[in-house]
């Protein structure tokens, strides 16, 4: 059985089939991708993508995100399409946080501030996603639900959860996959050195990322948004596509 950590020592699972869990931080990937040429890779079949890292293994997939504001009908419909594909095709368990509105205040005087462009005095803030990921990763490790885990995120807030997962499940191994072309934080490098042979951190390989079929929405009587097509490039300015 191929062990994906090149140059590391693989645990002996006795030739049995490993249990692989993947935890995808959809919001983190979206924020990293929206101004990049590889933005259309967000139409990603994460189960098949992770299987490209761990061939011949079944992958239990958990996908973390938050719902778009219902006031943005177009973005809401696009998110529903994306989550339908994640659930029906990739077999993902969808775990949702919350989006809340909060006032924007001046840091000096605490007066309400308005955007000079649209006059809005509030902004959307995502809540609970990183905590949800941390809880699921730590609980699954403690309960022995995986031998190998993949975490798709560059969020430094998840480092304590990765540390707990490796410490509480001594036979587990974790690979942290950053958004493509991203820089690996020294904090993750330090954590990697703390668990030699059991933790690896690296950017996602675009050659291993597998998109859902472009004709998939048509099978459901829907249309794939033009800016999600493979060669579409950067996200058009002004569009919101929370995953």
What's the CATH code of the domain at 159? Answer: 3.40.50.1010
**What is the structure's pLDDT at 18?**
82
Closest CA to 44 of 85, 3, 2: 85
- Are residues 84 and 106 both part of a single domain? no
pLDDT at 57: 83
**Gyration radius from the chain CA atoms:** 19
**Are 136 and 116 in the same domain?**
no
Residue whose pair of structure tokens reads 């079949």 in the numeric block: 45
> Residue 101: its pLDDT value, please?
56
Residue 105 and residue 121 in one domain: yes
Tokens 């004709």 correspond to what residue?
215
Last residue of a domain, one of 109, 125, 141: 125
H-assigned helices in the chain: 26-33, 46-53, 73-88, 129-142, 159-168, 186-194, 216-219
Residue 230's pLDDT is what? 93
Does residue 73 sit in the same domain as residue 42? yes
- pLDDT, residue 68, reads 77
Within a domain: 64? yes
Look at residue 58 in the predicted model and tell me its pLDDT: 86
* pLDDT given for residue 7 in this prediction: 37
Domain count, the chain: 2
**Are 45 and 107 members of one domain?**
no
pLDDT score, position 9: 38
114-123 residues labelled b (16+ CB within 10 A) or e (exposed): eeeeeeeeee
- In a domain, residue 71? The reply is yes
The greatest distance separating any two alpha carbons of the chain, rounded to the nearest whole angstrom, comes to: 64
201 and 141 within one domain: yes
193 half-sphere exposure, CB direction, 13 A CA radius: 5
Q: Is 161 found in the same domain as 109?
A: no
Average pLDDT across each block of 10 residues of the chain; the chain has 243 residues. List them in order: 41 62 95 92 97 90 87 87 97 83 66 69 65 97 96 96 96 95 89 95 96 97 95 81 62
Q: Are residues 120 and 177 located together in one domain of the fold?
A: no
Tokens of 210: 């597998």
> Which pLDDT belongs to residue 81?
96
What does the alpha-carbon distance between residue 59 and residue 54 come to, in Å, rounded to a whole number? Answer: 9
On whether both 193 and 146 belong to a single domain, the answer is: yes
Residue 234: inside a domain, yes or no? Answer: no
- Residue 62 has a pLDDT of 98
pTM of the model: 0.84
**Structural domain includes residue 237:** no
In a domain, 160, yes or no: yes
Same domain, 80 and 191: yes
Whether residue 187 is contained in a domain is answered as yes
Specify whether 47 is located in the same domain as 107. no
Q: What is the pLDDT of residue 10?
A: 44
Regarding whether 143 and 111 lie in a shared domain, the answer is no
For residue 62, give its domain range: 20-96+128-228
């Amino acid at each position: 059985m191929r062990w994906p950590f090149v140059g590391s020592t693989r645990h002996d699972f006795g030739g049995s089939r490993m249990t692989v869990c993947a935890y995808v931080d959809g919001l983190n990937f979206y924020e990293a991708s929206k101004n990049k040429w590889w933005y259309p890779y967000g139409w990603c079949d994460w189960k098949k993508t992770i299987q490209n890292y761990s061939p011949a293994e079944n992958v239990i997939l958990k996908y973390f995100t938050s719902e778009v504001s219902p006031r943005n009908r177009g973005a809401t419909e696009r998110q529903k399409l994306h989550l339908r594909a994640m659930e029906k095709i990739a077999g993902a368990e969808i775990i949702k946080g919350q989006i809340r509105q909060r006032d924007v205040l001046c840091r000096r005087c605490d007066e309400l501030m308005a955007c000079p462009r649209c006059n809005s005095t509030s902004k959307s803030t995502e809540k609970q996603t990183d905590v949800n990921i941390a809880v699921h990763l730590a609980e699954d490790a403690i309960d022995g639900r995986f031998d190998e885990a993949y975490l798709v995120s560059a969020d430094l807030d998840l480092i304590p959860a990765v540390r707990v997962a490796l410490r509480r499940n001594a036979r587990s191994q974790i690979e942290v996959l950053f958004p493509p072309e991203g820089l690996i934080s020294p904090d993750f490098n330090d954590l990697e050195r703390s668990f030699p042979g059991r933790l690896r951190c690296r950017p996602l390989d675009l050659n291993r990322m597998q998109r859902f079929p472009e004709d998939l929405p048509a099978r459901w009587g829907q249309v794939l948004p033009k800016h999600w097509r493979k060669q579409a490039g950067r996200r058009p300015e002004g569009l919101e596509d929370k995953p």
